[in-house]
């Protein structure tokens, strides 16, 4: 298997949809729902790496976001002219936030970019400082 075929196979494996991703975890029969968590994701612009014979991406990697019933993009910001950032996305998820973080991070790495992901008050404050206060859609919106 050539290097290109191997790389293609890895990317396909890492970015394919997970059939049971929205199913409740097997270890909890009633699968209690967490409070909604906002994830703050910053994608790094790695397009310069293409010139160094590496992987790189330029453009909002929308395809990297996991799909789920209890997951919604509530804000999206582009970073034109920023030397390192490509885009920022604020995602609200109702459950399994740790698994969502892992899937975004892994998918980003598989295509040659980096996703900086955080949750909590510290990241909320950073988001507000960079892009303003909460969007109207985020304040009190439900996931369904």
CATH superfamily of 8-13+34-131: ACT domain (3.30.70.260)
Contacts of 25 (CB under 8 A, 6+ apart): 31, 96
The confidence band for 84, taking pLDDT boundaries of 50, 70 and 90, is confident
Cα→Cα distances 61→28, 57, 110, 118, Å: 33, 8, 12, 18
Confidence check: pLDDT of 121 > 90: yes
| pLDDT tens for each residue of 90-107 | 999 988 888 888 888 888
* Domain boundaries defined on the chain: 8-13+34-131
């Amino acid at each position: 298997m050539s290097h290109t075929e191997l790389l293609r196979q890895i990317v396909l494996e890492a970015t394919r949809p997970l059939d049971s991703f929205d199913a409740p975890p097997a270890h909890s029969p009633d699968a209690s729902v967490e409070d909604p968590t906002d994830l703050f994701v910053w994608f790094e612009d790695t397009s310069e790496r293409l010139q160094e014979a590496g992987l790189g991406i330029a453009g909002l990697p929308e395809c990297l976001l996991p799909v789920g019933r209890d997951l919604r993009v509530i804000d999206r910001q582009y970073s034109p002219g920023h030397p390192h950032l490509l885009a920022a996305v604020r995602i609200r998820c109702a459950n399994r936030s740790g698994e969502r973080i892992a899937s975004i991070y892994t998918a980003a790495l598989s295509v040659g970019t980096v996703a900086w992901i955080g949750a909590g008050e510290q990241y909320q404050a950073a988001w507000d400082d960079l892009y303003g206060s909460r969007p109207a859609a985020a304040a009190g919106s439900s996931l369904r």
